[in-house]
Structure 1
Amino acid sequence: MSSPALQRRLGLRDAVFLGLGSMIGAGVFSAFAPAADAAGAGLLLALALAAVVAFGNATSTAQLAAVHPTSGGVYAYGRAELGPWWGYAAGWGFVIGKTASCAAMALTAAAYLAPAGWERPVAAVVVVALVTVNLFGITRTALVTRALVVVVLAVLAVAVVSIGAGAASSEDAVGFDGLFEGGVYGTLQAAGLLFFAFAGYARIATLGEEVRDPQRTIPRAIVLAFAGALVTYAVVAVAVLAALGPDGLAASAAPIADAVAQVGATWAVPVVQVGAAAASLGALLALIAGIGRTTFAMAREGDLPRALAAVHPRWHVPHRAELALGAVVVALVLLVDLRGAIGFSSFGVLLYYAVANLAAWRQRGEARRYPRALQAIGLVGCVVLGFTLPWQAVVSGFGVVAVGLVLRAVRVSRRA
């Protein structure tokens, strides 16, 4: 008897909110500080560069999703267009890198929710709670994500207006001198870290078997979510940089809360803390859904243990994959720090999108929706940004990918 199947229950609005929920928490509340540490005020240039590379990747993903409306995202696209080894490399990089992202988001949420010294236990509890939400079906995941995104956008609007009003009335407002102070390498490294913030549109593609009219819905949702996130990042980046300056931003564990406090809007600090927690929770919720589907797709093809390909007969979710993911993330939040998780995640995701751009480049005829120049920009950008990440992220990224390839080689040889 065949396993129960995933069901197409999501429309365009659900897909867009899942994409936004994946991106906004990561970018606004965790990636700006390490980027400012690398590039100073040049993080604005880095943001623009990351956006250009991400747009190339987004259009490649949208083009592929229209032809291959299945679970697994670039794992499935790479298998179909380039071969099983390419798909495996993308899927392995995504699962490992985004599992690190889950740890980063859980720790970010806990930094706002937990009393000092309790961040890691609270992060573990958060992971368990959100895995539980995901187990009750994709429509519930979408509903909770939508509510969290609305809260986050409202809070960010309050914060930006407060910072703008405070900075306008202050004689000590920080300027934007030194946009090039980070140099080429520092700016590229910051762009690689900020790319972590844009990668959420992949979550839409990984849900290919659960979106209605996927050939039309997924490409539109990817572009809309990317555009919404970019506008949000740009506005918030300018505001926090103006309030804190590059050094203050680089040293801040909670940059938006510190920015509103810096301009005297202390009343808004609790509001920002609520928004930060909601953003991180929304990102984590969507990440769990996306990684679970990619793990499910890889298990279905035998690239991960086939037991993980089970679908719950009532809730129609890959429950074993999500439970296994939850266990791994709980372990990670007890062991890794936020900065390390962001750098490591960026490496895995850059590998993922490099494969996406190669796969989209190979498409012909009616499958093509965007010029190959965008795929070239995306591919070159992924490679360059990947090698300018902190060396620890590059070394660990190569090591984990190598381990994954060896594991698949052993598995293939045993089958033969």
Structure 2
Amino acid sequence: MATAATAGAEPRLQRRIGLGLLMMYGLGSMLGAGIYGLVGEAARLMGSAIWLAFLVSMVAALLTGLSYATIASRYPRAGGACYVTQRAYRSPLLGYLVGLAVACSGLTSIATQANVVARNLQAAFGWQGVPVALLAAGFLLLLAGILLRGIRESLWLNAVCTVVEAFGLVLVIAVGIPYWGSASLLEWPDGPAGGTEAAGTTLLVFQGAVLTFFSFIGFEDTLNLSEEVKNPERTMPAGLILAMVTATVIYMAICVTAVSVVPWRDLAAAPAPLAEVVRRAAPWFPPLGFIGITIFAVANTALVNYVMASRLLYGMARQGLLPEAFGRVHPSRHTPHVAIGALFVIVLALAMLGNIAALASATVLLLLFVFTLVNGALIVLKRRPGEPRGAFEVPVVVPALGMLVCLALIVVRTTSGGATAPMIAGGLLLAILVLYAATARGRQAEIDRFAAGDVPS
């Protein structure tokens, strides 16, 4: 058993993050690169009523977001979703499943964004002679170096990238405001809403909400910074909710602007919808400028997921679910250097595969599965006597509704999006279960502790 002196000498993560950096981290994780292309897909489905889809999806996402805010206030730990799942269900298996499912979503996102950054660098600087794989590897190496340097450095870079990508969205809004009111905001693909049956319109809105819901995914990443945030019981909920509300305001304004400047049929056909909005409303803005903004947005998505995944592996190691080495912290930089290095190797290998779009799509289903389990875990913990209460609490109906919404999204996504993504998601879950079974012997003591209800603090 470790002595107090030994435990005190062990390097740990340090609380260096305030509300401002945390909010920017959450906002950057949601804005990302998705909104730059998602508007066109939503217009194809919803016509000019895309703002309605974003409004409904915001409500759906906020239910789970409020659950995460409560969890962050109660249990401010790295690997938070994995921890509360394990604590609530007293099952190392479910904690392991949730942790690696979230990790898979982060790894595929980082690899995908590395290739997107590489292709944009080729276009921006005329580097067609430089292989995409080499540019992607250089980008990943740069990210790993920043993460190894420290959490404040990582989050300051995130703040800069978030400001740049938010500038791109604010630019779209600013140049488009004079066009507001020039187009109907309730023009549907099959005619005006008044000419459709209410049930059909409701179904269309729900399908649009399923599509746009994924523009809010990313709020859950903030939970993994809990051990590095000052006064996390209050700062974590405030940062998460502020980020979600800010993202919603920006998204709604983008929707109104986009369909006001560009007819929704043209918007749906445009390969770069927001770039088309700027081209029409502000022809003076250089096209290269929007490529630069896109690079910052995509790089930020990769950075946020890299930070999240490294802290997740650290938290899982601390819970005994992964090898102890992943829980080691650098003595001077106070970063989980082993986890960062291991992730670099895995992501580099994934990036070399090139197009992993099908895998990335499947991990969205995994995240919905995780949200369902985490909402259920909060219900269990709220009803269990003796569990700590946080500075921020929501009534039990919030996680209950969040769980139902996520289940409904899984059903819609599975039945209307083709069989490839569900099959890959199922295969990933099966692979995680096999990996757990293959390595369970070394964690038998931990499994026995959880079976007895002895959850580590």
Deviation, structure 1 residue 287: 1.4
When structure 1 is superposed on structure 2, of 105-114 and 373-382 the one drifting more is 105-114
Matched, 1:103 2:127: no
Shift of 1:179: 6.3
Check 1:175–1:70 CA distance in 2 against 1; reply closer, same or farther (3 A cut). closer
Q: Does 1:142 align with 2:155?
A: yes
- Aligned to 1:197, the other structure's residue is in SS state coil
User: What RMSD, in angstroms, separates the aligned Cα atoms of the two structures?
Assistant: 2.9
Given residue 187 of structure 2, which amino acid in structure 1 is its aligned partner?
D
Partner of 1:78: 85
Q: CA–CA distance in 1 between the matches of 2:358 and 2:211?
A: 11
Change (3 A) 1:259 1:306: same
* Structure 1 Cα separation of the partners of residues 132 and 185 of structure 2: 34
Could you tell me which of 396, 399, 404 is aligned with 1:380? Answer: 404
TM-fit CA distance, 1:284: 1.8
Once the two structures are superposed, what CA deviation does each residue of 1:150-197 show, in whole Å capped at 9, x if it has no partner? Answer: 2222232222222344x4699xx7865116789777655553443332
Count of aligned positions: 413
Post-superposition offset of 1:6: 0.8
2:325–2:338 Cα contact (<8 Å) kept = yes
Q: Distance in 1 between matches of 2:12 and 2:442?
A: 29
Q: Distance in 1 between the 2:132 and 2:270 partners?
A: 17
Contact kept? 2:115, 2:354, Cα under 8 Å: no
Report the TM-score, using the length of structure 1 for normalisation. 0.88
Distance 1:306 1:293, change over 3 A: same
Could you say which residue in structure 1 is the equivalent of 2:15?
8
What's the offset of the Cα at 1:146?
1.4
TM-score after normalising by structure 2: 0.81
Structure 2 CA distance for aligned equivalents of residues 234 and 316 of structure 1: 39
Q: 1:398 aligns with which of 426, 433, 442?
A: 426
Are 2:181 and 2:260, in contact at CA under 8 Å, matched by a contact in 1?
Answer: no
The answer to whether the 8 A contact 2:85-2:98 is kept is: yes
Q: Which amino acid letter does the alignment assign opposite residue 231 of structure 1?
A: V
User: What is the correspondence of 1:326-341 to structure 2 with a 5 Å cutoff?
Assistant: 326-337=344-355, 339-340=357-358
Q: Per the alignment, do residues 100 and 237 of structure 1 end up closer, same or farther by CA in structure 2, a change over 3 Å counting?
A: farther
Counterpart residue number, 2:307: 289
Of 99, 118, 123, which aligns to 2:136?
123
Deviation at 1:33, TM superposition (A): 4.1
Q: Is the 8 A contact 2:83 2:319 kept in 1?
A: no
| Equivalence map 1:175-324=2 (5 Å) | 176-178=186-188, 188=206, 190-263=208-281, 265-324=283-342
CA distance in 1, matches of 2:249, 2:113: 21
Q: Which residue of 1 aligns with 2:448?
A: none
Counterparts of 1:113 and 1:187 in 2: how far apart (Å)? 37
- Distance in 2, matches of 1:122 and 1:281, equals 13
What residue identity is the alignment partner of 1:55?
A: L
* 3-state SS in 1 of match to 2:32: helix
Q: Distance in 1 between matches of 2:180 and 2:219?
A: 35
Shift of 1:219: 0.9
**Residue 191 of structure 1 contacts residue 385 of structure 1 at CA under 8 Å; is this kept in 2?**
no
Deviation of the 1:339 alpha carbon: 4.9
The alignment status of 1:411 with 2:424, answered yes or no, reads no
Alpha-carbon displacement from aligned partner over 1:288-338 (angstroms, at most 9, x marks no partner): 111110011123333333332221111111112122222322333333547
Q: Deviations over 1:15-58 (max 9, x none)?
A: 11111111111442344344445555554333223211210111
Identity %: 28
Runs of 5+ in structure 1 lacking a partner?
none
Aligned position for 1:50 = 57
Aligned to 1:349: 367
- Flag the 1:238–1:324 CA change in 2: closer, same or farther, 3 A: farther
Aligned to 2:453: none
Counterpart of 1:385, as a letter, is: L
8 Å contact from structure 1 (residues 20, 225) kept in 2: yes
